A and B are shown apart, each in its own frame.
Chain A
Amino acid sequence: MHKKMAFSFPDEVLEHVFSFIQSDKDRNAVSMVCKSWYEIERWCRRKVFVGNCYAVSPRMVIRRFPEFRSIELKGKPHFADFNLVPDGWGGYVFPWIAEMAGAYPWLEEIRLKRMVVTDESLELIAKSFKNFKVLVLSSCEGFSTDGLAAIAASCKNLKELDLRDCEVDDLSAHWLSHFPETYTSLVSLNISCLGSDEVSFSALERLVGRCTNLKTLRLNRAVPLDKIANILRHAPQLVEFGTGTYTADVRPDVYSDLAGAFSSCKELKSLSGFWDVVPDYLPAIYPVCSKLTSLNLSYATIQSPDLIKLVSHCPNLQRLLVLDYIEDSGLEVLASSCKDLQELRVFPSDPFGAEPNVSLTERGLVAVSLGCPKLQSVLYFCRRMSNEALVTIARNRPNFTRFRLCIIEPKTADYLTLEPLDVGFGAIVQYCKDLRRLSLSGLLTDRVFEYIGTYAKKLEMLSVAFAGDSDLGLHHVLSGCESLRKLEIRDCPFGDKALLANAAKLETMRSLWMSSCAVSFAACKLLGQKMPRLNVEVIDERGPPDSRPENCPVDKLYIYRSIAGPRFWIEAFMRNLLGFSSFDLKNECLRHDWSGNIIWRLFKALRARLPYVSPLPELSGTPRNELIKRWKLRLLCNQSKYVGCLSCSHYTSMQLYRQELDQTIHAKVLSKLE
């Protein structure tokens, strides 16, 4: 009966129905219904999301989805934002670009997060995809303005270029001039991360002037205040605007110019930038404040009174990012003025100071949770907290979906009772039934994890630091949190037991990060051996883990599910080539034996990622030198175009392998550099 129904619709009809389904999760669910739906769905999926670029290989993605137009990839683990992931770890996008360039000339959109993007990658994008429209690079690094110039010059249909929080090598401000005079399709430009001594203002103004569809423009700090008025006048249709530096000598003509320019922008809903703010110039934005829904003042080092004045002018604010200069008093005003507030982020102005420099405490958060009925997402840095406040917050605001609290000093107890904050966070997970993301801080015992395991059934991401007493804590989370996808832990006394007992759970998650915990190398090896669909990666900058007893805790551990197999071959190899810190390949490839097929596997894995590898010669019986001569690898990663040479033979010891490799590489590199 059911079979008949499935076949009663022609494919085109099903395809049409599926086209209304955009969400990735739903698409995945659709493809699991039956084989024919899987087939139909895979041909018509237009947007692909890969949450961990190492969970799957580019080739696998292309094979399954032959006609996608848009791809989103994420690379490094979240803790890379805080310098916990060493340089050279990975996340290189080039192999993906190279594969897609071959298969997909019609790719339109690329969105990357925490990946290493090189100028070569950008040049390849510019060259390969004729209808390329959207490039969003979020927290990426490894490229320079040369790469951007290539994009600007070649992508005639580019609509969106968004470089949020990237580390860009500013070689020349003139990359902007590479947009041809005929180019007018820009809709969104975010260059706020760029440094540059100068920005070519005339090029910028001309670009802004001729792109009449421009809706989002976020400038970088180098654009001075007196240039903003002109730019705004060229683009009164802007919906989102980020200023450059917001400082200048206070002059009435500059002020009125600026105020006038802002008032001509009737569509403006979002403002950001505000570096080096001079408070006298703030009122210039008052004309647009009543329509603002999003305000990012997280770089504005102005004091509470000015912030309060500003915020009181924005009754429709839905999203506010601000420094802790706003203080409790400012948050109380916010709570009474901005009833539509959905997201609040309060950043520390002096994160490393021992003493508080501002009067921002739990009171501010309590006020906002009470006064803002739509508040669902909070990121809050403060220096003290109490269980009482947390319980109040939880009761006030059960609609939290994201709650991230960072009490700056690790292991800070409840300042009123000196007890751990278990009960407070327990209340959060108990009352906020839709909580999807939680970050813990303060003094916490295993009890808080018991609460989390019991109540946080919808929790998808949990960040833990300096918390817990024993493996029981980790066990509660892994066994209780049914929706858990990402777990990141640092400096907690969690060891082998909980991890191994819940090994199967790890396959249901995207990833687990544990650093400065108590997981032994032996446990890592065991896990790696028993769980073939998990990549168990040990990062230990003290040196190879087997130079220490097996029961020693590893420094950092990153475990993620993958159908692409271990990636260490490539990244460790790259690291060795470029002289990065020592990874002992033998010890990191936890699941492979060292007899026979090493080189073949290495080659296959490399070829899956780097298309420039020359054909593999016969392995057996070929003299080593001959093999060396014939193997040349073009390694394109974040440093530059090095020509490397893969030594191959059946080495029994990794030390020998690395030595030979180093010598050959250095010789090659030297000759290339001449």
Chain B
Amino acid sequence: MCMELQLGLAPPGSDTWSRPLLKLGLYEDINVNSKKRGFDHGYLEDEFSAASFKNYEKGLVGWPPVKTWRRKKLRCQVHNHMTAAENGCCGGRASNSTYVKVKMEGVVIARKIDISIHQSFETLTTTLMTMFDIFDENRRSFKLTYQDKEGDWLIAEDVPWR
């Protein structure tokens, strides 16, 4: 596939681009691939870039840009104010670590994942899948389970996220 991309090796600051860019319809001049039209079309119709906007509603990764540890510590405190009973990550002197060990059947090495940065089983499962290298098609054949206080293994999705 022939890509007509140009590498500008002019020193930084020299505005070799000034003229072509001020023209509208810039992208019509570029013969990249029949699929790639003006940016708007090309970008949104491309199924792969659509994926990056998938999380636009609640659950954008890393947005707003509040540092992870700050979010964790704040969430623990807000929970403190709201409820007395704790889920292990919050409450007075309890450890404020919200890391949980995850092990996949057949894989020797367990991984650690931070539960507090997820807000749903969807995002948790997606992250786990990438961690353990499972492709999307196989998603259904894997089940997320957790071990409760009594040591019983239960299916995670049966319980609400909280």
User: Does B145 make an interface contact (CB < 8 A)?
Assistant: no
- Within 8 Å CB of A530, what residues of B? 7, 9
User: Does A193 make an interface contact (CB < 8 A)?
Assistant: yes
Report the Cα distance A82→B68, complex, angstroms.
Answer: 6
The minimal Cβ–Cβ distance linking A416 to chain B, given in whole angstroms, is 22
Q: Are A504 and B10 in contact (CB under 8 A)?
A: yes
Query: Considering the complex, which residues of chain B in the window 11-63 have a beta carbon less than 8 Å from any beta carbon of chain A?
Result: 11-17, 21, 26, 30, 32-33, 35-36, 39, 42-43, 46, 48-49, 51-53, 56, 58, 60-63
Instruction: Please judge, given known A-B contacts A496-B5, A501-B16, whether A553 and B66 are in contact too, CB under 8 Å.
Output: no
User: Does B161 make an interface contact (CB < 8 A)?
Assistant: no
- Within 8 Å CB of B43, what residues of A? 493, 518, 553
Report the Cα distance A203→B117, complex, angstroms.
Answer: 34
Nearest CB in chain B to that of A221: its residue: B96
Q: Are A504 and B12 in contact (CB under 8 A)?
A: yes
Task: Return the contact of B73 from the options A197, A299, A500, A580 (Cβ within 8 A).
Answer: A299
Q: Are B71 and A351 in contact (CB under 8 A)?
A: yes
Q: Are A222 and B69 in contact (CB under 8 A)?
A: no
User: Does A356 make an interface contact (CB < 8 A)?
Assistant: no
Give B70-94 as 1s and 0s: 1 = Cβ < 8 Å from A's Cβ atoms.
1101100110110000000000111
Q: Are B108 and A666 in contact (CB under 8 A)?
A: yes
Q: Are A550 and B119 in contact (CB under 8 A)?
A: no
Report the Cα distance A541→B52, complex, angstroms.
Answer: 12
The minimal Cβ–Cβ distance linking A122 to chain B, given in whole angstroms, is 19
The minimal Cβ–Cβ distance linking B84 to chain A, given in whole angstroms, is 13
Query: Considering the complex, which residues of chain A in the window 504-521 have a beta carbon less than 8 Å from any beta carbon of chain B?
Result: 504-505, 508, 516, 518
User: Does A673 make an interface contact (CB < 8 A)?
Assistant: yes
Nearest CB in chain A to that of B97: its residue: A195
The minimal Cβ–Cβ distance linking A439 to chain B, given in whole angstroms, is 8
The minimal Cβ–Cβ distance linking B39 to chain A, given in whole angstroms, is 6
Query: Considering the complex, which residues of chain A in the window 463-504 have a beta carbon less than 8 Å from any beta carbon of chain B?
Result: 463, 465, 469-472, 475, 478-480, 482, 490-491, 493, 495-497, 500-504
Q: Are A298 and B93 in contact (CB under 8 A)?
A: no
Q: Are A472 and B21 in contact (CB under 8 A)?
A: yes
Interface size on B, residues (CB 8 A): 67
Report the Cα distance A470→B24, complex, angstroms.
Answer: 11
Report the Cα distance A139→B53, complex, angstroms.
Answer: 28
User: Does B159 make an interface contact (CB < 8 A)?
Assistant: no
Give A148-172 as 1s and 0s: 1 = Cβ < 8 Å from B's Cβ atoms.
0000000000000000010101100
Instruction: Please judge, given known A-B contacts A475-B21, A479-B12, whether A351 and B131 are in contact too, CB under 8 Å.
Output: no
Instruction: Please judge, given known A-B contacts A275-B73, A299-B74, whether A501 and B64 are in contact too, CB under 8 Å.
Output: no
Task: Return the contact of B49 from the options A165, A500, A553 (Cβ within 8 A).
Answer: A553
Query: Considering the complex, which residues of chain A in the window 625-652 have a beta carbon less than 8 Å from any beta carbon of chain B?
Result: 639
Q: Are A479 and B13 in contact (CB under 8 A)?
A: yes
User: Does B160 make an interface contact (CB < 8 A)?
Assistant: no
User: Does B141 make an interface contact (CB < 8 A)?
Assistant: no
Q: Are B62 and A79 in contact (CB under 8 A)?
A: yes
User: Does A81 make an interface contact (CB < 8 A)?
Assistant: yes
Report the Cα distance A111→B24, complex, angstroms.
Answer: 49
The minimal Cβ–Cβ distance linking A520 to chain B, given in whole angstroms, is 8
- Within 8 Å CB of A502, what residues of B? 8, 12
User: Does B132 make an interface contact (CB < 8 A)?
Assistant: yes
Nearest CB in chain B to that of A525: its residue: B3
The minimal Cβ–Cβ distance linking A302 to chain B, given in whole angstroms, is 11
Q: Are A381 and B64 in contact (CB under 8 A)?
A: yes
Q: Are B48 and A503 in contact (CB under 8 A)?
A: no
Q: Are B5 and A518 in contact (CB under 8 A)?
A: no
- Within 8 Å CB of B30, what residues of A? 497
Task: Return the contact of A222 from the options B52, B66, B77, B93 (Cβ within 8 A).
Answer: B93
- Within 8 Å CB of A549, what residues of B? 33
User: Does A205 make an interface contact (CB < 8 A)?
Assistant: no
Q: What are the 4 tightest A-B residue pairs by CB atom distance, in nearest-first order?
A: A82-B62, A505-B12, A501-B8, A516-B52
Chain A interface (Cβ within 8 Å of chain B)?
79, 81-84, 86-87, 139, 165, 167, 169-170, 193, 195-198, 221-222, 224, 245, 275-276, 298-299, 301, 347-352, 381, 406, 408, 410, 439, 463, 465, 469-472, 475, 478-480, 482, 490-491, 493, 495-497, 500-505, 508, 516, 518, 522-523, 526-527, 530, 541-543, 548-553, 555, 578-582, 639, 666, 669-670, 673
**28 CB-based A-B contacts, threshold 8 Å:** A81-B67, A84-B61, A84-B62, A195-B96, A224-B93, A276-B77, A347-B66, A349-B78, A439-B65, A469-B39, A470-B39, A471-B26, A475-B17, A479-B13, A479-B17, A482-B13, A497-B26, A501-B16, A505-B13, A518-B43, A522-B1, A526-B5, A527-B7, A542-B51, A543-B135, A548-B48, A553-B46, A579-B132
